[in-house]
Amino acid sequence: MRFVPSSCLKPGMIIGKDLYGRNNELMLAAGRKLSKTEISRIRHLKIQGIYITDKLSEDIEVIDVIDSSLKNSAVRAIKNVFHTTKNGDFSKENFVDLKLVVDEIIDKLISSSEVIFNIMDLKVFDDYTYYHSVNVFIFSIIIGYSMKLSKDDLYNLGMGAILHDIGKVFVPRKILDKKGELTDEEFEIMKSHSEMGWNYLRNKWNISNDSIIAVLTHHEKCNGSGYPYSLKSEKIPEFGKIVAISDVYDALISDRPYRKAIQPSEAMEYVIGGAGLYFDPDIVSIFFKRIMPYPVGTTVKLSNGLKGIVAENNPNNGLRPRIKIISKQERDCYYIDLYDRSMLNVTIVESLAI
């Protein structure tokens, strides 16, 4: 199985995984051939791409710990929370929906035998904020799980992570979506979102103090250059540090109104480069081991000019996976392991759309 961006889908390709629509209805079932109309629909809905299966990738297995239906449920739940907050009718019901899906995803991760998690980013551009919130939540609990946090702590971390940007509901749309650089005044308003989120969630539906503190401190940086309080490393609560790394990484690999997404390896390098300066170095090292910039099924270009499909991730180094090198003839395809000493001079230069 491999992941094919929407722009590269062709009629007749075989769907590799069930695809769910916005309301979690089954849109396309695995095993069927894609039609021209379905491709137009996928593009119209601005879905980034889908998994397909073909001769080239039939021996590559993609295991989802969190399938797209469950991820969609989380996206719907947080979207409801944002909408009801904006309309002033956030109710216990919306909160319970969110709590249930947060619990379900944590249970799935805890009971998974996978040591590394294959999370293909499937954001829908129009709904960026909600997909981003869910990704930040998933990344944060993967980190928390690796830090051996208790289930209760994982839940509190998860709630803080999924709600980290709720304060943006109170920031005017024209500032949030501005294509150019923000003025100083606009930036001050934007920066107020972490405090506004914290203030809004205080004393609501038994959200724990640890969760709301994560919302308040997710833009603090270890050298004291963050906001709202310019806290230095030792004063920043652990959950805030975890959410900060997850937030920056996911934002960098996403298309935004003011810039294009950067390559996952560049985003990972940014996070590693910021260890000690912006981010807690111990949490960065866990992040690097557990979050795979090139999930299984990604097509990549290598520095030696060859192209391949990521076949297996390396738990010690996400930038050095095992790769199936693509040749014109299927029988000429072969595997290389970038973690192998002999491959040290070869790097992944980009993920490709083919």
Provide the residue type at 126 as one letter.
Answer: D
- Angstrom distance (rounded) from CA 93 to CA 325: 50
- Angstrom distance (rounded) from CA 243 to CA 249: 10
- Angstrom distance (rounded) from CA 25 to CA 69: 9
Output 41 or 191, the one with its CB closest to Fe ion: 191
Cβ contacts of residue 87 below 8 Å, gap of 6+?
none
Output 256 or 301, the one with its CB closest to Fe ion: 256
Least spacing, CB of residue 226 vs Fe ion, in Å? 11
Least spacing, CB of residue 194 vs Fe ion, in Å? 6
Note whether 165 binds Fe ion by CB under 5 A: yes
Least spacing, CB of residue 127 vs Fe ion, in Å? 17
Q: How many residues bind Fe ion (CB under 5 A)?
A: 1
Note whether 250 binds Fe ion by CB under 5 A: no
Output 144 or 197, the one with its CB closest to Fe ion: 197
Q: The tokens of 261 are what?
A: 């997404």
Note whether 220 binds Fe ion by CB under 5 A: no
> Please, where are the H alpha helices in the chain?
36-44, 68-87, 92-111, 128-146, 151-162, 173-176, 184-191, 193-201, 209-217, 238-252, 264-273, 281-290
- Angstrom distance (rounded) from CA 332 to CA 320: 22
Q: Which stretch binds Fe ion (CB under 5 A): 59-67, 72-80, 120-128, 160-168?
A: 160-168
Pairing state between β 307-312 and 19-20: unpaired
Q: Which stretch binds Fe ion (CB under 5 A): 25-33, 61-69, 159-167, 249-257?
A: 159-167
Output 278 or 294, the one with its CB closest to Fe ion: 278
Provide the residue type at 91 as one letter.
Answer: S
Of 272-331, which residues contact Fe ion (CB under 5 A)?
none
Output 109 or 243, the one with its CB closest to Fe ion: 243
Question: Which residue's Cβ lies closest to Fe ion?
Answer: 165
Residue 299, strand partner residues: 309
Q: Which stretch binds Fe ion (CB under 5 A): 86-94, 107-115, 164-172, 198-206?
A: 164-172
Least spacing, CB of residue 125 vs Fe ion, in Å? 19
Pairing state between β 307-312 and 322-325: antiparallel
Q: Which stretch binds Fe ion (CB under 5 A): 162-170, 221-229, 308-316, 327-335?
A: 162-170
Least spacing, CB of residue 343 vs Fe ion, in Å? 38
- Angstrom distance (rounded) from CA 79 to CA 292: 26
Of 58-117, which residues contact Fe ion (CB under 5 A)?
none
Q: For the chain, what is the radius of gyration of the CA atoms?
A: 20
Least spacing, CB of residue 237 vs Fe ion, in Å? 15
CA dihedral 36, 39, 44, 47 (to 10 degrees): 180
Inter-axis angle of helices 264-273 and 281-290, nearest 10: 160
Output 165 or 280, the one with its CB closest to Fe ion: 165
Least spacing, CB of residue 166 vs Fe ion, in Å? 9
Least spacing, CB of residue 144 vs Fe ion, in Å? 19
User: What is the contact surface with Fe ion in residues (CB under 5 A)?
Assistant: 165
